[in-house]
Structure 1
Amino acid sequence: MSNSDGQQGIEEQEAVIRHSDSGTPTQAVSSKGRYWWSTRRFCMSLLLSVLLAIGVFVFFVVSFGHFKQPNLVYNDLHYDMQVLPNGDLRVKQKVDIKLRARKDTNGGDKTWRRLYQQYRLDSSDLTGISDISVRDLTQGTEYQPTTALSPDIARNFIDWNRVRANHWYAAIVEQYPAQYSDDYIDYEYDPATPKSSTDESSPAGCAPDEQSCLLEIGWNIPETVEADSRVFEIEMTMHGVTTAYNDVSNFEWEPIGGQNETLIRRVSGVIRLPKNTNRENSKAWLHFNGPSNNWRDADGTLHFEAGPVQPEQHLDVNVYMDKSLTPNVARVNPHEAKDGIEASERSDELRSRMENLAKAREKMQTFIVLSVITIVFAIVLIISAFSSYNKSRYHGDAVYWREIPGITPAATAVLSEVLFAGMGQSQSRQMAATILSLANKRAIAIYPGPASLYQDCDPSHMGTSDLGQILRKQKDVKDVDESSEKTSTIVILPLAHADNGSLDVSRSEQAALDMLLAVSGKLESSTFDLIQVKETFKDDASSVKLKQSFDDAVASESGFLVLRHASLRVVISILAVIVAFGLVIHASHKGLLLVGCVLAAVVIACVVFCLSYGSSDVLTVDGQEQAGKIIGLHQYLTDFSSFTDRGVTDLTLWGSYLVYAAAMGISKKAMEQLAQAYPQVTDSSWLDSNTSYPLIYMSYRPYGFEGGWQDLGSGGFESSQQVFISDFSDIGSELASSCFEIETAISASGISSDSDGSFSGGGFDGSFGGSGGGSFGGD
């Protein structure tokens, strides 16, 4: 952790150091008691939560919305239809089609070759289709008629663009007897149609004795990989759709049937009734269970628009008019139909409106339930974040602490990680501080540079003056391996091989010493550098066991100070993520995809906030007591030069201070403070003459490799490269490297029990099965 990180940790305690008039800091430090709050932490967590929430929303919308859209989509479909005097329908449609890119089984582009529409021919309504024409308005091409090909033949047809493209076809695709089922039978309209409702003659083109069959009208386009918009105009005449009763003529036209599998984003239409039709002698109803609008002009012309029309959602228009307006209708029924049609439509509309109201209420209830679930989880997660952070804060009055804490350097690193937000650097600091402590207790020595520098001497019995000579000599060497600049040499001193009880080492210090002794044994040398440590432990299973022993020791020493508190937060967070997915899935089934995505994004944002703002570790009662000492020592070391009552005792303690400064991640700041208070530590001659402060010597003794502390004069100095401290703060990682919108009830509450056929106010889900049953596709 950098000094700025540590200082931020102090600021989070909201401790304000007061100074007396003499310039000596007092012992008292105030605290406002807002231990659950950190402005900087809150802002960073909030920003991260918002950014991830946006990403999650986009992910859910794309993941749960995209798969519902087929490769072929109708962007827009417009009908312009004229009812002829004989009851037939002359239909002109303009269709805007989107073609998505596809891949074949080999991973190559699968081109589009044909587009088609299918209609159901039936002896009781649509008896035939004629006068077909197709125009490609995008390319300005008039398509010509041709024979039909089955899909397999069309897919493998050679020279498609030259021979088959820019043509249209009409074919029966359901045929009896069965031997014709694998082929398309070319279709041509036969005007011999049934003359009454009891006539059971088969429609033209259907197999004998078959009352219905499927007619496909398709057009062959030039091979196309993808297209955002291709516009076509298709015209046809639909025969036999109208039945003349004794009182009215009636047709139910179904341009989009329940078998359609193509998404239609918007559909609109104009239905022009025969001359002299008006509101009094005709009635009409739009059947569509979705957003729609319909109206009629004074001359009786009908208009409608709807969309989107989902796959398997039908749309039809039911119309009756005075019998005299269509005198030449071929199909005749000797009964009256007007009252029956109106009664049926009233019943259908009432049923549809009631169903829509029930669905709207269900959606509203779903929205409320999902919102409550979201709010509950949000509150729980946010409270958990503030609560866990509060429990990780020191709640007392921080004071200056001059003594060595009663806990090990490794435990200090763990506690400092919690107190000063060390950003996950606790492990490397545990190892660095522990090895420094071994050096301070003279179990080992630590020298700058690679072990090769000391091959001509006995480093275990080398004094500071001898080391100074080696360093001064090395300064003149120009050809230095750059990698050696970033390492240090460890020397196992005789005391480490003696009765280890005399070292007074902790369990973690003994585990770290065992690691170094293991390296010494493998290298058969008591002198080695960190590069050799890394190479020795690389792919060595024993290093994992040694490191685990160290980690277990640290856990034992810090367990009474800090408790892992992540389990509950993690469980709640995992459950919240599962709930977020459930919100989207359930909302999408209820037609509230966007609502579900928004609520899920809110839950995920709260999860991220909980994990980022909250703390995984909390302080115990003993941890609170030790935290005050650590914070006090932290403040003492970073403000050391301000004290006037210093003495030799302070300098003697600085070997241990540097150990704990490394554990807290404030080595650089602490060294600056010591040098300001005792400028002699930056003097090479003074250092070479003093052997009582080994860690102070190694921290400040200038040497080659362009590193070490450089005296800049006037009491100021800086570190061009923190060779010693930086190298050892990395040792831990080196040793471990092997190792839809809401539908409201208001919109559906206007239930009417009197469907008057005025063709206004929007459609409703009426009976389907009218003439055509259109479906659309392509291959």
Structure 2
Amino acid sequence: MNMKKVIIISLLLMILLVPVSFAEDGDYTIPWANKDITVNDDGSTLISETIYYEIEGSVNGVYRDIPLNNNQTITNISVETPGYYNTVEVIRENGKTRIKVWLYVDANKRLRTSDASVKVIYKYTFNKGVKIYNDIAELQYMSWGNEWKSGVDSLVTNIHIPGSNRDTEYWNNPDDYVVTSGWSNDNTLTTEAEGIGSYTSFEQRILMPKSYFKSSENAQVINMDAKAQIEADQQKYKEDRDFKNTVTSILSGLFGLLMVVPAAIYALFGREPKIPYKADYEYDLPTDSSPVEVNSLVNGDAGSIDDNAMYATLLDLINRKVFKVFASNEDDTILTLVNNDTTGLKTFEKSLIQFLSQFESNGNISLKSIADTCDPEVFKNFRETWKDQTSQEVPDSLIKKYFIDKGYVIFNFLSFGLMALSIIIFIALMFIEVSPQYYWILFAITVLMFCESIIMLFIPNTVPGRWTPEGKEYHDKWKNFENYITDFSLIKERPPASIQVWGKYLVYAAALGCADEVSKNMKEYFNVAGVPEEYFNSSDAVMFAYYGGFNHLDTTFNALTPSETSSGGIGSVGGGGFGGGGGGTF
């Protein structure tokens, strides 16, 4: 049975599974962490973080990501690793600073760290984190960010403010994890929290008199009154949390009951057929399908095209010598259109060439320049049109040959039915007199049905749908090929036969959505095997991947599809004015 299906159905049924942990190379947990935060009277914040890592397996080191907004900066960075030698690398990127700490057990810095308990002390100054309004000053600090793969069992924070606590207010968002929190002396707030899970945030917020600050040089100065609004936001946040905690047990039971129908649909229409094919890996392309067909049928929803198809198409055009890699380094990849004859090309390929040619300068196309000069709305329209054109290259007859979507169609009908029913009940509750006890039960059911309907809309069609026996074998073979090209040990044991085969495999890796991982394996294999540079430079597709072309594509396309960002003002509760982020091992 497809593991993705098992995971999703299990979540919908709210089955509480006891995880079985397997020690993997580079895994880690964080039993405890201590933070000391000192707010200076110029608005800067001195931060000392002691994080205790329990490392399983062998790692190169650890890292800490610190998000930055607008004009925020961190300075005076230092790292201590008692009992271990280290090399510190500070990487400043848009929106964050990464402190990368290489760990060694010997003075010569040759032996990696493995199966160890490591204490790492990060120290730095955070500028422009404190906000000074017309009526109040605010520290809104994310004491634990939601980018940590591991949770933390015990977190202790000490926040020192530049004045007395007598005229202050503070909140912990949320307070579910807090064991104790209070002023341990006149200017120090000490908080102990436990059981903060992975990818979970914990915020601390303090309001204090603005007179505590002699200077606003390193603070954000915001021309508005904020105290009343912040207090109102915190009160609403508390009420919302209390309500959610009250109805959680009711929702859990009802959710399981309401999931019976979707589970039944899966049992009837989504269970995969049994086939004789049992291989674990495919060491060559399993079929003669085009890259866009593989992307449509194997990667994500059956019958859908995603951005990976565009990556694969571009690399395929490079591999077929329509484009040539003129130059490539860690900052940019520059392409040259060397074959202007598009007679034998398909519509979606011609469209991609025409789009890229708009950014040609002196015969060259810089991927970086596309991000700098292209209008995001123009790119959005092109991408939608291109996906429609590409979808026409995967006929419905082929999709129906491999995939039966009957369960998915029923799933959608059920989803819209639950949504309509929840809206009807919600409207009825506004006009019908119901005792408070039953009102909240009905309200909970309404919210639950609506949420369920939304979740069902976003479930991949391969969960309620079913592969035909032929489609199941097709899908599994391509997934097993993906398993091969993403497993370095297999690449090392049975490498592709030639540089041309590498180029073809990279095209399909892009279609399958694993190009970055395969490029990494290829580079590592070339280094281990001592492959000379002139060998892999004989293939433009390999050159493109080797020198970071996929990263440049990601950077360009991500820049053209920006997410919404905050530009100052009062921070939302739990949003964390600054701090947070995450970290891990590498």
Q: By the TM > 0.5 criterion, same fold?
A: no
TM-score normalised according to structure 2 size: 0.44
Q: Greater strand percent: which structure?
A: 2
Q: Choose 1 or 2 for highest CA Rg.
A: 1
